[in-house]
Amino acid sequence: MQIIRALDALKPALAQLRGSGDTLALVPTMGALHDGHLALVAEAKAVATRVAATIFVNPLQFNDPKDLARYPRTEEADLARLEAAGCDLVWLPTPAQLYPDGFATNISVRGVSERWEGEHRPGHFDGVATVVAKLLLAVRPTHALFGEKDWQQLAVIRRVEADLGIGVEILGHPTVREADGLAMSSRNALLSPEKRSKAVALPTALHAAGKEIGAGGAVGPALERAKAALLSGGFSTVDYLALVDSRSLEPLEKPREPMRLIAAASIGGVRLIDNIPVTLEQQVGR
């Protein structure tokens, strides 16, 4: 596996890697890698002949400096895991390389980025859209993989590709979960053992609400019950818990496929997000 740190080493390494006719799949990450990230690498290997990853904790997408400062960094272990997963190249840019003095461009996506994470983390999706566009333009992969765990992020990135025509196929990968159902996340490592065991209330509440709505139950009360379950189950705040159109991320008062339940809530000072698809059960005789 080639490890690239200097910007001027990237182009020749990529040229050599792609050779003639190879496809290249990119997996952008912020490091602190877990099995969810590695599932993206495995999927990348399945769709393309070459696989590259990036590790970059992007300061532009952190609206809270404390969150940036305590973001877990485990570079040595990350490199070992990427190599073992069969990654061909990893690029670790620095903030100064991606955002040199005078950097002034911002990619801002209207509509799909405005609610939910966009509302609770002002500037977050501008940072995501800007860095992802930069990484895609620098690496020029044929495919790029992103997790459905960050459902709104995936929708924003699909919008960027559709609008700017960078020429990359954007692929989403289903959320990888721990044995108890908690979505894998680099932030889980920040939870105390006690809060970690309680955090499973998040997927549990989403599944309970999804089942209720799928069976024809009223949306509002199902969402309220799920929020109450989070607050009584150890979460201190619920930023949002909503039923949304899967593509536009607009809230739904009545179920309409394709739809998802999305949520963000904090436990022990750690903010977690999750989402699940919801499907309507076939109602016989209606």
184 touches ligand AMP (CB under 6 A): yes
Do the annotations mark residue 202 as ligand-binding? no
Nearest alpha carbon to residue 241 among 215, 209, 281, 218? 209
Do the annotations mark residue 282 as ligand-binding? no
Q: Cα(182)–Cα(198) distance, rounded to whole angstroms?
A: 10
Q: Cα(28)–Cα(91) distance, rounded to whole angstroms?
A: 9
93 touches ligand AMP (CB under 6 A): no
| 101: its two tokens | 């003095």
Do the annotations mark residue 1 as ligand-binding? no
The span of 85-93, 96-104, 115-123, 176-184 binding ligand AMP (CB under 6 A) equals 176-184
The nearer residue to ligand AMP, 30 or 202, going by C-beta atoms, is 30
Of the candidate residues 54, 130, 185, 275, the single one contacting ligand AMP (CB under 6 A): 185
Shortest distance in whole angstroms from residue 260 CB to ligand AMP: 14
Q: Cα(159)–Cα(168) distance, rounded to whole angstroms?
A: 12
User: Active-site residue 37, yes or no?
Assistant: yes
Helix, strand or coil, per DSSP, at residue 221: helix
CA distances from 183 to 15, 34, 213, 277 (A): 36, 11, 21, 14
The nearer residue to ligand AMP, 14 or 135, going by C-beta atoms, is 135
173 touches ligand AMP (CB under 6 A): yes
Residue ranges in 121-218 assigned as alpha helix (H): 124-139, 151-164, 193-198, 201-214
Of the candidate residues 149, 159, 196, 271, the single one contacting ligand AMP (CB under 6 A): 149
Of the candidate residues 36, 118, 127, 203, the single one contacting ligand AMP (CB under 6 A): 36
Do the annotations mark residue 97 as ligand-binding? no
Binding mask 39-78 for ligand AMP (x = CB under 6 A): xx--------------------------------------
Shortest distance in whole angstroms from residue 107 CB to ligand AMP: 17
Of the candidate residues 186, 199, 202, 242, the single one contacting ligand AMP (CB under 6 A): 186
Of the candidate residues 79, 109, 176, 262, the single one contacting ligand AMP (CB under 6 A): 176
Helix, strand or coil, per DSSP, at residue 62: coil
H/E segment holding residue 119: helix 117-120
**Residue of this chain nearest to ligand AMP (CB atom):** 147
Residue pair 257/224 in contact (Cβ under 8 Å)? The answer is no
Nearest alpha carbon to residue 205 among 176, 182, 239? 182
Residue pair 152/244 in contact (Cβ under 8 Å)? The answer is no
Handedness of CA 133, 72, 27, 54 (dihedral sign): positive
Do the annotations mark residue 22 as ligand-binding? no
Residue pair 133/153 in contact (Cβ under 8 Å)? The answer is no
Do the annotations mark residue 192 as ligand-binding? no
The nearer residue to ligand AMP, 72 or 255, going by C-beta atoms, is 72
Do the annotations mark residue 35 as ligand-binding? yes
| Residues annotated in a binding site for beta-alanine | 61
Point out the residues that are catalytic: 37
In the complex, the residues that contact ligand AMP under the rule CB under 6 A are 29-30, 36-37, 39-40, 146-147, 149-150, 173, 175-176, 183-186
| Residues annotated in a binding site | 30-37, 61, 147-150, 153, 176, 184-187
